[in-house]
Structure 1
């Protein structure tokens, strides 16, 4: 999917302007939600003219599309680093701590993502935005199982398990944001562990 940007911000000054627009859009979404977000509000928050916004974007939805891609890049980097570390240390099967960290990463963008999921589902976390982090998780788990074949429980179908993992994390993550389930983070993390990592380990344990 294209970014929808009208002007390619190749010059350093243009890149700085686009960065200000995206940052301001995040501020407006956090403060006013999607329904209260407008190009006027974005321009005011960025300290630039509305015309300057239109040099790069046709409307607020195009700005939000680019912002969403940036958020997913940051989310992928943050959770991917945690996952890589847990795989390297051999701790990711130990308990539900990694799953709790996954939900905590989503909480960093809750004010933005929750508003979009509820008020602008046409813009929110479409499947194409989660592909990169899902592929990274699958590759890391496959690598771990290849290096540690005894880690997988007897009779466990790895491909089926990875499919359950991918769908479960995506859908639980969406509901976690949509319904604001922060008060049940640990319980959800444990359920995710039992459904996925617990199956990989050939057992299910409780608690974070």
Structure 2
């Protein structure tokens, strides 16, 4: 059951109703932003009564919380598949393609997430929401290092590097959405890639 839901939509009809509510919420957020989003607007867009909305959610923030979790699940699945394909093809970390793909996946939900980051930070992308995709990325990076031991320089603390990369990627992704940096996608992807590979090789200046 999603965060904040009053009623567990175990029956198919209930699941369909919740799906309509979530889809309608996305439509309203895209069209009107967070400030223009209300349970009345959501119910109208979903073609149901406001009472039906309140059967499952107490207010619009609870609906949005569940919607964000759904978006993060879809993002994790999509980008996770891209990561696995890159590993299988041997293209993982060969260039900045994956970093660019990550930002492109976020662009699918820009109209929703950008509005929430700017107008409703209390229901936006907190760290726990991105933990699954971050864990998958860390696991694959560890696998990459295991298969390519020469990729990691002497004395590099992999755990520390993974922590820095995790936080950096998360914050860049949030800023990418918050400020609408689509015209800088390739440049940002390249910097993230260079930072990753530079960190693995231990090329950072030490003793300064």
**Of 146-155 and 115-124, the range deviating more from structure 2:** 146-155
Contact 2:156 2:201 in 1 (8 A): no
Q: Map 1:57-68; keep pairs closer than 5 Å.
A: 57-68=57-68
Distance 1:207 1:70, change over 3 A: farther
Deviations 1:17-59, CA, capped at 9 Å, x for gaps: 0000000000000010000000000001000010100000000
Counterpart secondary structure, 2:9: coil
Contact 2:20 2:46 in 1 (8 A): yes
Shift of 1:157: 2.2
Q: Map 1:113-128; keep pairs closer than 5 Å.
A: 113-128=113-128
* Whole-angstrom distance in 1 between the partners of 2:118 and 2:65: 16
Contact 1:95 1:206 in 2 (8 A): no
Shift of 1:201: 5.2
**Of 54-63 and 148-157, the range deviating more from structure 2:** 148-157
Distance 1:187 1:207, change over 3 A: farther
Shift of 1:93: 1.9
**Of 57-66 and 133-142, the range deviating more from structure 2:** 133-142
Unmatched 5+ residue regions in structure 2? none
Deviations 1:125-175, CA, capped at 9 Å, x for gaps: 011101111111111111221222122233332112211210111000000
**Of 153-162 and 31-40, the range deviating more from structure 2:** 153-162
Contact 1:153 1:202 in 2 (8 A): yes
Contact 1:99 1:193 in 2 (8 A): yes
Give the match for residue 92 of structure 1: 92
Shift of 1:199: 2.9
Report how many residues are paired.
208
Counterpart secondary structure, 2:206: coil
Distance 1:192 1:167, change over 3 A: same
Unmatched 5+ residue regions in structure 1? none
Shift of 1:207: 29
Distance 1:207 1:102, change over 3 A: farther
Distance 1:99 1:205, change over 3 A: farther
* Whole-angstrom distance in 2 between the partners of 1:20 and 1:110: 20
* Whole-angstrom distance in 2 between the partners of 1:40 and 1:146: 54
Say whether 1:111 aligns with 2:140: no
Distance 1:105 1:130, change over 3 A: same
Counterpart secondary structure, 2:123: coil
Contact 1:194 1:205 in 2 (8 A): no
**Of 115-124 and 93-102, the range deviating more from structure 2:** 93-102
Shift of 1:204: 11
* Whole-angstrom distance in 2 between the partners of 1:207 and 1:34: 48
